[in-house]
Structures are given as structure tokens and as C-alpha cells.
Amino acid sequence: MSVNRETVRARRALPQTIADAFLPLEESADLTATQALRCMAVLLDARRSAALGVTEGEDILALINEGCNLAFQAQTVIRRAHAQLIPLAVQLDIVNVVPECPGIVGIERSPLRSVA
């Protein structure tokens, strides 16, 4: 009987547990993509302001550009994973209220059913 209660507790806690781990990851991916693009803009502007040649630092800029693309790809993949978490939670009927989760708005929730 104890195992069933623990399972019910774990399922009730699951949305918040996932949110506690996932939302900071999502925010970090957003910030990384934003910072990478800002860095690229600053480097390009600095090169122009310093009147450097158009090819000066292009190897570095190419690496930063690659980093920008990878950061944006990571952000996109994490956002797609978030979008897939919501229907899965609904399908498994384990959707609790996680107020800070923007993707959960408008989803009809049924109460968690415990099976003993």
C-alpha cells in the first residue's frame, strides 16, 4: 500500500518537479541565445567603430556566428520539448496548476485520480 501512496505523491509532484528543472533551463537557453546575438552585434560594431578592415577578425566572428546558431538551435529544441510536455501531461492526466508555466493556460484539467 505504501508504494501506491508514494506513486500518487510522486505523480502529484511531477508537474512542479519538472517545472522546477525545466523552466530555468528554458530561461537559460533564451538568455544564452540573446547574449550570443548581442555579442555578435557588439563585435561587428566595435570592428566598424575602430575602422578595422572588413576581413579583420572574420575567423572569430565566424566562430561567434556558429555559437549564435547553436544557441538558437538549443533554444528552439528546448521550446519544442516544452510544447510536447503539455499534451503528455494532459494525456497522462497529471496536470497540476503550475502558474509560471505559460504553455498550460487554457488546458482543461481534471483532478488527479489515485488508484489504490
Asked if residue 116 is part of any domain, the answer here is no
- Per-residue confidence (pLDDT) for residue 101, from 0 to 100: 62
| 97: Cα within 13 Å, side-chain hemisphere | 2
Torsion angle, CA of 79/82/84/86, rounded to 10 degrees? -140
- Per-residue confidence (pLDDT) for residue 8, from 0 to 100: 82
- Per-residue confidence (pLDDT) for residue 7, from 0 to 100: 85
Asked if residue 87 is part of any domain, the answer here is yes
Asked if residue 108 is part of any domain, the answer here is no
- Per-residue confidence (pLDDT) for residue 98, from 0 to 100: 59
Domain that holds residue 19: 2-103
Low-confidence ranges of the chain (pLDDT < 50): 1, 105-107, 109-116
Asked if residue 98 is part of any domain, the answer here is yes
CB atoms within 10 A of CB 45: 10
- Per-residue confidence (pLDDT) for residue 4, from 0 to 100: 87
- Per-residue confidence (pLDDT) for residue 39, from 0 to 100: 96
Asked if residue 115 is part of any domain, the answer here is no
Domain total of the chain: 1
Of the candidates 75, 69, 92, which has an alpha carbon nearest to the alpha carbon of residue 18? 92
Contact between 40 and 63 under an 8 Å Cβ cutoff? The reply is: no
pLDDT tens track for 78-110: 999 988 887 887 787 776 655 556 555 444 544
CA distance 25 to 19: 10
Contact between 102 and 1 under an 8 Å Cβ cutoff? The reply is: no
CA distance 57 to 47: 8
CA distance 91 to 71: 31
